[in-house]
A and B are shown apart, each in its own frame.
Chain A
């Protein structure tokens, strides 16, 4: 007997149009396991227990009562399910029936999380955009805070995390070295020292009230992460191990101190996975591979407010359709914008989407001219070799073999702050003491050597497995015997969407902060200004986790006080934005629909492909992104001056014109990466303009920004945050100086 016999089955279905639910009962029929894509459903799994079968399909779970005898059946589950007469619009089917008593693993919370929900509900209490460390921390902070309150109020929040990648693909996973906190597990440390180091590292541009929170609450966040499951490396007595990192000192600038908690050299991976795992535990709902195209913010209605965020327009890439989402609280956690540059350690997805969304919504960005270049990108790949490689004994050498960092930063040497090391490398290269990447011996001498040969190979394998592997794989070198070519690589955007220390986005207007209701941000895309003009190693994960958590808690507090769903908000702005974006999408896709959707339209351009530098194929977003990267590198990478910036701005005009011509070459909207890429290019271009203009306006050198025409820091005029909007209007917000008056910053 090869059939699964069902006694009774109730289907609950939801339609796209309304919220209406239908129920359908099916009795006595047959079913089979297996994939049935031809029928529009993939039955992913069927598990049997006596009397119960559970079916997982891409549309949801299905628990089927009844008895069953065997498998490998001739009949068809879909055939039997086909009893339900539903319209073509049926969008989401979740099937429930007699949940079996006790899940197979009766521990913890058994929660239903739809991995790729076909959303029909379009109003949420909170929508979090981005699922890296900041987004997931925000979600966890929110859920945990609500749980504490839930015992009283019984809130059932509707929260959605929207991300353009599956959460585990987020770039947080590439962070290697460590996360800073004055745990003092291996030697005496004090959060005041961490506070001082961070402020000093920022070249006194950080807001000290925010840095104080960062340093003081860091140990608590680390312990929380550990409880979430992060596999930290350990000391012999079982505590979290810590290592030295650039700029971490004892006693306010004294000797180097072990402050970076680490997990071999994959701390980011560990944190990302642990946070995601805990989100599963708490039943956080994800919408994966959705791309947010627009943020809708109502303009301020009075002199006090900064406006009101209404919602988002999102593209579900899996179906290729746009939809509007209304949300009372929106959090932007979209990460950095390393793809502004050609050589970057950032993933291909870090296209500054959140920052561009804010600019396009009429908001400002803070301090975007400060972009950190990590000194040790591997050759021309830009792939990061962790700072740990120098912390564990790696030495930078020029073409003459000299360990030149001692000349630039006596006492700190190779572990000086990142901007100092990057500039020193560039100075060596400019002085003709650079080396060529061995993989391109005829190429420019724009690298220096990273000498890891002094590190014991056993120790290298234990402490730097990732670094070793990267060098093997992408440079084809053996770091125990070969020198490794390195080059500064765009790594981190210190600036971003301006937020308060509770994650609330604000406008800087009339000399004060005017909070935008319902809008939050966290992580690299935001700027609470703990990094100022230059970020210290180990502080980015800390920033994302700590201020993410705080943001989540802040939203929970707002939600608890909100009580009833708020007034019937006017959705016309949202509708308008949706229509506008739909027209844009239609135009992108229309050009290709006449021809065969799959036929590449750029076929003739291969003639030019023999010259890889001439990748100026028209109408190709990927080529355009490459051109932008080179333009930005010439204009502002590591150092700049007025003429290089103005040249960049001029070149940007041309790229803007080219970008307007971009059209998709396939008319199929489903999983059309080119459509997303075109919108990413638009985002990068709007952001690039803001970066260049902000750099132009700041006529000084501070932290990561080095202007050769203004080589000195100028506290008289520029001890202030640059606030720039899409109209290139720049205003200046004073820095919060609380405990530490500005001093020199010598490493």
Chain B
């Protein structure tokens, strides 16, 4: 086991990150109560409420914080650690994961108060951001290519330094829906229906507490992504996000017959110098229209220059992981604001020269809960795993809508 005092700065620190050492993972857990166990009368509205009967997917259940201490090299990812926990300690821990290298976007959570993907956040990365760690761990450059390390955390830490964490962290739980839901059921069924919160120190972790008890303990705290309804442990309901994305028709609409005029209009909107006579698209689309009329396979691609591609290429790399939504203080469940992910999805087509409906798309997002709700806080930019400057893109949308 590497003593922390030997850790030095820079690349040597990263070399020591290769040695496994005990790291504690403090994980917010939630087991929904199975439908069959729930008394019918628990909910005062259950009898008359058509929605209430299907409530087992949300809300009630058991909620607690659990700590696991395992041996792992800090350069490994948090996903590696959670999988190791599943394999060796507790197979009941539930969290989404799939590709394991930041492409599928399924494993967005809140790590030490910051929205992040399990598979791209390294443990060293998380620890270096922790205030409880020695200074050396906060040195920039420990992890190559991770700009996140060098910025101050945007989210308040939720009690990592203390050992009695359950209550404060649960109080800070950012899903307002959960906090507000206790109105009826609490009174009738306090033991099960209320927020049953406790800390379960993992039994097996006790023999390692020698190294993890002190304030130098390496603790990584993981919670469900804020702004989403937790369904079980770290798994949240992402339907809201996808519904909001879908709302702005996130698909290419290349209108063959109107393509030419519309394209020209778009171009003039953007003060581009394209002359319509030289417009390669017009020719391509008329060809496509002809072949489509013949009900044959499309004969030719829509033309697009590398410059036109560059205008939306980065936007098209969005993996809909939801980190920007989790970071956005306005989003909070999609009710006041459709959310940055939906805006990015819209922007991707607004900026695609092949799309014939730029104007309608701009009008569609120009709503109270659309781009108008964005207040340029730009918290959405930092967590983006694809490097999209979400805040800047949102600002561009604001300006485009104004025009």
Contacts and interface: CB of A to CB of B under 8 A. Distances in A.
B228 to A, nearest CB: 10
Given A35-B176, A36-B177, A42-B229, A240 B301 contact: yes
A590 interface: no
Interface string B195-229: 00000101111010000000000000000000001
A174 B104 contact: yes
Interface residues of B, number: 137
Contacts of B120: 473
A478 B144 contact: yes
Interface stretch (A224-232, A297-305, A394-402, A558-566): A224-232
A607 B208 CA distance: 10
B85 to A, nearest CB: 9
Contacts of A677: 91
A151 B235 CA distance: 43
Given A40-B49, A472-B144, A107 B249 contact: yes
Given A56-B243, A174-B99, A231 B51 contact: no
A148 interface: yes
Contacts of A35: 176-177, 180-181, 229, 333, 335
A744 interface: no
Nearest to B288: A227
A623 interface: yes
A90 B56 CA distance: 12
B163 interface: no
A733 interface: no
Contact of B55 (A11, A37, A672): A37
A155 interface: no
Contacts of B17: 476
Contacts of B297: 220, 223-224
B75 A476 contact: yes
A347 B55 contact: no
Interface stretch (A164-172, A405-413, A716-724): A164-172
B272 to A, nearest CB: 14
A173 B145 contact: no
A34 B334 CA distance: 9
A233 B308 CA distance: 11
B386 to A, nearest CB: 9
Contacts of A620: 86-88, 91
A141 B64 CA distance: 47
Contacts of A79: 45
Interface string A672-693: 1110010000000000000000
A617 B142 CA distance: 34
Contacts of A729: none
A27 B27 CA distance: 46
* Most A Cβ at <10 Å: residue of B244, B248, B298: B298
Nearest to B20: A612
A89 B88 contact: no
Interface in B41-64: 43, 45-60, 62, 64
Contacts of A610: 71
Interface in B68-123: 70-71, 73, 75, 77, 83-84, 86-106, 120, 122
Nearest to B369: A47
B88 A57 contact: no
A58 B34 CA distance: 18
A105 B246 CA distance: 11
A78 B70 contact: no
A664 B91 CA distance: 8
A90 B53 contact: yes
A318 B91 contact: no
Contact of A349 (B98, B254, B338): B98
B316 interface: yes
Given A90-B53, A473-B102, A671 B94 contact: yes
Interface string B230-241: 011101011110
B352 interface: yes
Contacts of B178: 37
Interface string A81-99: 1111111111101000000
Contacts of B284: 238
A348 B75 contact: no
Interface in A193-237: 220, 222-224, 226-229, 231-237
A39 B89 contact: no
Interface string B6-32: 000000001001101000000001011
Given A34-B177, A347-B98, A600-B92, A668 B71 contact: no
Contacts of B395: none
B177 A39 contact: no
Contacts of A606: 70, 88-89, 202, 204-205
A46 interface: yes
Interface in B247-273: 247-254
A622 B91 contact: yes
A78 B51 contact: yes
A174 B119 CA distance: 14
Contacts of B151: none
A612 B354 CA distance: 53
A668 B32 contact: yes
A155 B309 CA distance: 39
Contacts of A670: 32, 34, 56-57, 231-232
Interface string A127-157: 0000000000000000000001000000000
B316 A231 contact: yes
B37 to A, nearest CB: 9
B334 A621 contact: no
Contact of B298 (A37, A227, A469, A621): A227
B92 A674 contact: yes
A223 B231 CA distance: 41
A136 B120 CA distance: 28
Contact of B303 (A36, A239, A281, A597): A239
Contact of B181 (A38, A82, A281): A38
Given A45-B335, A220-B297, A476-B143, A78 B252 contact: no
A148 B53 contact: no
A620 B207 CA distance: 22
Interface string A443-476: 0000000000000000000000000011011101
Given A38-B185, A44-B335, A168-B320, A106 B49 contact: no
A598 B242 contact: no
Which 5 A-B residue pairs are closest in the complex by CB-CB distance? A40-B55, A35-B177, A38-B181, A229-B252, A606-B204
12 contacts: A38-B182, A44-B239, A44-B240, A56-B243, A78-B52, A115-B246, A237-B303, A239-B301, A278-B252, A626-B87, A668-B33, A671-B233
Given A78-B45, A229-B349, 5 more contacts: A35-B333, A58-B239, A81-B49, A169-B99, A171-B98
